[in-house]
Amino acid sequence: MNSRITTHAFFDTGTWTVTYVVSDNADRHAAIIDPVLDYDFKSGNTSTASADRVVAYLKAHGLTVDWILETHAHADHLSGAHYLKEKVGGRIAIGENIRAVQSSFKAVFNLGDDFSTNGEQFDHLFKDGEIFKIGDVEAVAMLVPGHTPADMAYQIEDSVFVGDTLFMPDVGTARADFPGGDARALYQSIRKLLSLPVETKLFVCHDYPPASRQAQWQTTVAEQRANNIHVHDGITEDQFVVMRAARDATLDMPSLIIPAIQVNVRAGEMPEPEANGIRYLKVPLNALG
C-alpha cells in the first residue's frame, strides 16, 4: 500500500536540527515541523537561509501549508515559525503545556507584565490525543513530557515525529534537567512511543552523529527497542533515571539556550523594538545553572 504522505527533511548543520515538511500527496497540503531561524551568536544577527530552503521547496511542489508544528520550545535553535507563517501561511501550534514552560522562563528572563503565559502567542494548543488534519490526512498529537513538560510527538499515518524525546539509537535520549524536566516522565513517554507497532517510522529532531557516520534522522520502533543505548528493551525505569541524572550532570547548557528560549516561547516572534527601534534579548546572570 502506497503512503498518502511525502516527508522531506532539511538538516541544519549549524544546530544539528532536522526540519520536516510532511505533505498530503492527494491535495498538496502540508505541515512544517520544527523550523529553524538562523542566528549568529557572535553578532546577534538573524537570517533566514534555512527557512527559505523550506519556502523554496513548498513553492516548487505547489504545497499549501496548513500547520507549522513545534514539538516543544527548543533550547538549541531559534524557531522559524513566525517568519514562515508570514511567507507561506499556516497555523503555528504546540502542546498546551507550553503554558508551564512560559511561566518558568518568564521568571528566569523577567519578561514583564506584558508577556502572557496562556499560550496565546500560538495559533493552536494541542491536547494529548487530539486529532487534526493535514489536507485529508489524519494526524494525532501525542503528549510526551520529560525533556520539557510540553513536548509533543506528531503521528501522521505510520510516521511519528518525536522531537527531542528520542535520538538515533547510537545517540540515545534527550536530557531531562531543564525547568520542568523529569527523567521518569521521559522514560514513560519513550515507552509510550515504543509501544507503537514495531514497523512505525520515527523521525528525530536532532542528530549528533559519532565520527563513524553521517547525520541520520529516520529510525523505527524496532530499531530503538533493540539498539537505543539509553533505553533499549530491558532497561528499567529506575536504571534509566540513574543514568539520565548522571549524564545530565555532565552536560553544558546548549549554546543558544538564552536567545532560543526567549524567542521560542513567543512562537518564533522577536520581542517588540525598544524606543531606539532595536529589539533586545536578555542575558540572565547566574540563573541557568
Residue 274, pLDDT above cutoff 60:
yes
DSSP 8-state class, residue 28: -
pLDDT band at 2 (very low <50, low <70, confident <90, very high): low
What is the CATH number that goes with domain 5-252? 3.60.15.10
Task: Break the chain into its structural domains and give their ranges.
Answer: 5-252
The answer to whether the pTM exceeds 0.75 is: yes
| pLDDT per position as a tens digit, 186-237 | 999 999 999 999 999 999 999 999 889 999 999 999 999 999 999 999 999 9
For residues 63 and 21, the answer to whether their CB atoms sit within 8 Å is yes
The DSSP-derived string for 84-110 is HHHHH--EEEEETTHHHHHHHHHHHHT
User: What is the DSSP-derived secondary structure letter of residue 273?
Assistant: P
pLDDT at 119 over 80: yes
Q: What is the mean pLDDT of residues 68-74?
A: 97
As a whole number of angstroms, the distance between CA 178 and CA 199 comes to 32
pLDDT above 60 (res 1): no
The pLDDT confidence band at residue 287, using thresholds 50, 70 and 90, is: confident
Q: Give pLDDT, residue 109.
A: 95
